[in-house]
Structure 1
């Protein structure tokens, strides 16, 4: 009894119905190759399935990258560890793999003045975690707080917090800029409390804990928030000069270096 044959059009329809677009695109070429090289059916199926799974993984990674809202330029490859000697590159690279600290809902806290590289380092860790298969959301703290406050007003706050559970890590950038408002900071506290020991947070802040009374208007809420965040935490202090100031200073020095100078004979030369 001869094996059944299928025309290309019908095969394409069936693969489309099964939602196997990569196999739909490749099966004809691989089928011809298998006929010429005498592959067994299992080899042909295995090759096609491997391509389908690889393409799905690639598309999933792309979706997670887009939904993360991470700056695509702020990665570990572009982060200059030499300007923050107080930060261990080995430690950061270990955190970038995820694993145990994400499983227990631990926190990363990045402190330092504006322009010190906190946002870049946080974004870089986020990108690495996406590469490792985790889901990440990066947002300015004030933006997320406003969204949660709007959800509370419409009686949807529990649902909004539950939707955030799909992210293994939420990066809250610039926590210090949240307005000292009881309604807004209370939803921030609820987010911290909701994720405590379940899902991880990475927080960047210009102010140390001693200045967080400017964020949470209630002293008890401040203590409770800090207590939860530091329980399972890694803290990095990036106390370095602002990158923007360093960059401006370097440019100014370069311009001065290139200005014409007079030699001893009165001739004008260009400084090296």
Structure 2
């Protein structure tokens, strides 16, 4: 029995109905090549399906990157590892693959003063994990606390926490800025407890653990939160000069050099700020 013939318009409609837009776009070109080169049917079908799957993976990564709310410029490629020599690039690269730490709900903790690149490094890990097929959410800790507190007030906290389960990793940026006198941050503890040993967290903080009493409602909750976070954790301490302060100093020195170069007969302004004659 002869196979039924289908014209291009009918094929396009069926492919659209099946939600196969890449095959719909490529099949005329591939069919022409197949006719000219005598491809077996399996080769033609396989080539079209490979392109469809690749495009789906690309679109999925793009959706996940958009929903992550991360700055698209803060990647591993743009991170200056030379500015934080205490952080191993090899170690960060290993974490960025996901490996087994996401499977066991482990935690990454980034400590350091403002401006040293904690948020950038966290985002860089997040972007790499999205490329590896994981789902990531980046959020200011104080903003998430406000949303969870609103959910609690409307008796929707369990469902709000359940919705966050779709993310393999949540990046809580600037935990130290979430203050118990600004919002009832016990919801933050509930998030930590809910994800413990199931789903991963990456936390950036300006303050060491000793300063976390300002975040949680009582010392017992602080101890319990820290205990859960450090149980399966990787900790990095970025104790270097602020990147923003260093860049500002570099710009100021560059302006001084430019002034000196433009007027060599004027009083010289060295980079230390002292005037020399």
Instruction: Give the TM-score taking structure 2 as reference length.
Output: 0.93
Structure 1 position 182, deviation (Å): 8.7
In structure 2, C-alpha distance between the alignment counterparts of 1:102 and 1:95, rounded to whole Å: 9
Q: Is the 8 A contact 1:75 1:127 kept in 2?
A: yes
Could you tell me which residue of structure 1 aligns to residue 219 of structure 2?
Answer: 219
Q: Is the 8 A contact 2:184 2:217 kept in 1?
A: no
SS at match of 1:6: coil
* 30-39 or 175-184, which deviates more: 175-184
SS at match of 1:101: coil
In structure 1, C-alpha distance between the alignment counterparts of 2:14 and 2:53, rounded to whole Å: 18
Could you tell me which residue of structure 2 aligns to residue 174 of structure 1?
Answer: 174
SS at match of 1:100: coil
1:1-272 equivalent positions in 2, closer than 5 A: 1-181=1-181, 184-260=184-260, 267=265
Q: Deviation string for 1:118-173 (max 9, x for gaps)?
A: 00000000001001111000000011111111111111111110010010000000
In structure 2, C-alpha distance between the alignment counterparts of 1:44 and 1:253, rounded to whole Å: 63
Structure 1 position 180, deviation (Å): 1.4
Structure 1 position 36, deviation (Å): 1.1
In structure 1, C-alpha distance between the alignment counterparts of 2:227 and 2:267, rounded to whole Å: 63
Q: Is the 8 A contact 1:135 1:166 kept in 2?
A: yes
In structure 2, C-alpha distance between the alignment counterparts of 1:55 and 1:37, rounded to whole Å: 25
Q: Is the 8 A contact 1:258 1:270 kept in 2?
A: no
Could you tell me which residue of structure 1 aligns to residue 275 of structure 2?
Answer: none
Q: Is the 8 A contact 2:260 2:268 kept in 1?
A: yes
Q: 1:129 to 1:87 in 2, by over 3 A?
A: same
Q: Is the 8 A contact 1:169 1:199 kept in 2?
A: yes
Q: Higher helix fraction: Structure 1 or Structure 2? A: 1
In structure 2, C-alpha distance between the alignment counterparts of 1:187 and 1:79, rounded to whole Å: 32
Q: Is the 8 A contact 2:186 2:217 kept in 1?
A: no
In structure 1, C-alpha distance between the alignment counterparts of 2:178 and 2:81, rounded to whole Å: 28
Q: Is the 8 A contact 2:113 2:207 kept in 1?
A: yes
Instruction: Give the TM-score taking structure 1 as reference length.
Output: 0.95
